[in-house]
A and B are shown apart, each in its own frame.
Chain A
Amino acid sequence: MIRIAWLVAKKDLRIEARSRVLLWQVVPFGAMALLLTGLALGPAHAGNSSAGPGLFYLVMLFVALLMINRSQVLESTPGTRASIATLGLDPAGVFLGKTLALCVELWVTGLVLLAGTVLVLHTALHGAFLALPSVLVTLGALAAAGTLYGAMTAGGEGAATLLPVLCLPAFAPLLIAGERAFSAALTHGGLWEWWVIVVVALVAYVGVGILLYGVLEES
């Protein structure tokens, strides 16, 4: 399982690095969206750092949906899907590999956007630094959940529409917990209860994915 996970993750990341979709499309989109949300607040409130965590996760939601869709599109043509299916790969390994690759991509984008919140929304640098661990864990949980839901919609005609509809209820508690943890880091408030939610969600989604990804692939 670990061998297949590593193989799939390296393959997905190599494709992403070569296609440069993350670099030239997703990161600029995220940066632009963050800038626009800052403008939407207006000049009087753009410097209000309390809005930073919420806007950061709002933009990360859009980015995550793009990246999940992209992750599933790699095997979307019927010929590729059939060829890969005949390799008989361990589905748990495929799930872990795709989750790991998506997680790395979200981390890269997240770091850029975190820097963006400091620059554009004037979020405190020290607070953003303290929030970094919770951001990484939250994005990891988003990657696991997204890979699971992405497999459900993969290959379907309405995948681009169905994916956000399926993901939003699953993502909402993660985003709220992530935003609360980020805000607590800025205000030096209690962090642990939000940490529990995102860590439990991460473990739960990874566990469910390992168990169910094969069933989703077959269906």
Chain B
Amino acid sequence: MLSGVDLDLEAASLNVITGANGAGKTSLLRLLAGLLALSSGEAEVCGVDLTKGDLRQLRRRVGWLGHEGSFYADLTVRENLRFCALALGRPTDEIDAVLARVGLSPRVDTITKKLSAGQRRRLGLAWLLLRRAELWLLDEPYASLDDQGRTFFDALLADVINAGATVVLSAHDPLRATTLRPRTIGLVGGRVREVAP
């Protein structure tokens, strides 16, 4: 778990949380998403107080992409995105454009469990693009991506940051994590040890 964490994340920035297994990377991401209760201290995310604010409202403004499957395995790519759009009250006519942007158009009617790990990651990105999340929280997003996928992923992150979104991702190795220039937050045993630059 986390303790003594003092962080201030700028809007429209890329932040990489690094640390060994069990350092608290996923816990910090879940806290930022409003998925983990704050037991002590103060925190505000997207203007929502994590101790007494409406966490459900916060969650609607963040996009979460875990390193495990984040979708309904027995629905098709389109059905997953359609469910997301309708749940958020968004129009569904953006789905094709979003799928084209992440390169999944040919797999639109494929059952999600039949996608490769890299394709599922792209579906996750489509899910986040469709949501127009203000804060992107990505848990080990570079896992199972090849070089082409990594380059594509970095370009997409650059675009969403330029559009005003804030991105926080976790990675074991910050140098391999991204070709962008992120702010790096080093976690050791649940505490922030370094922030650079």
Contact = CB atoms under 8 A, between A and B. Distances in A.
Contacts of B66: 78-79, 82-83
Nearest to B89: A3
A100 to B, nearest CB: 16
A87 B75 contact: no
A11 interface: yes
A83 to B, nearest CB: 4
Interface residues of B, number: 29
A44 to B, nearest CB: 46
Interface stretch (A12-20, A130-138, A175-183): A12-20
A200 interface: no
B87 A86 contact: no
Contact of A15 (B34, B75, B84, B87): B75
B58 to A, nearest CB: 8
B48 to A, nearest CB: 12
27 contacts: A7-B87, A11-B72, A11-B83, A14-B74, A14-B79, A15-B75, A18-B74, A18-B75, A18-B111, A19-B74, A79-B67, A79-B68, A79-B69, A80-B69, A82-B30, A82-B33, A82-B70, A83-B66, A83-B127, A85-B33, A86-B33, A86-B59, A86-B62, A87-B60, A87-B84, A87-B87, A88-B57
Given A85-B64, A86-B34, A87-B59, 16 more contacts: A7-B87, A14-B74, A14-B79, A15-B75, A80-B68, A82-B66, A82-B70, A83-B64, A85-B33, A85-B35, A85-B59, A86-B59, A86-B60, A86-B62, A86-B64, A88-B60
A94 B76 CA distance: 21
Q: Would you call the interface of chain A mostly helix, strand, loop, or mixed?
A: helix
Nearest to B56: A88
B86 interface: yes
Interface string B32-64: 011100000000000000000000110110111
B74 A15 contact: yes
Interface string A71-107: 0001001111011011111000000000000000000
B75 A14 contact: yes
Given A7-B83, A85-B59, A86-B60, A80 B74 contact: no
Given A4-B87, A18-B111, A83 B60 contact: no
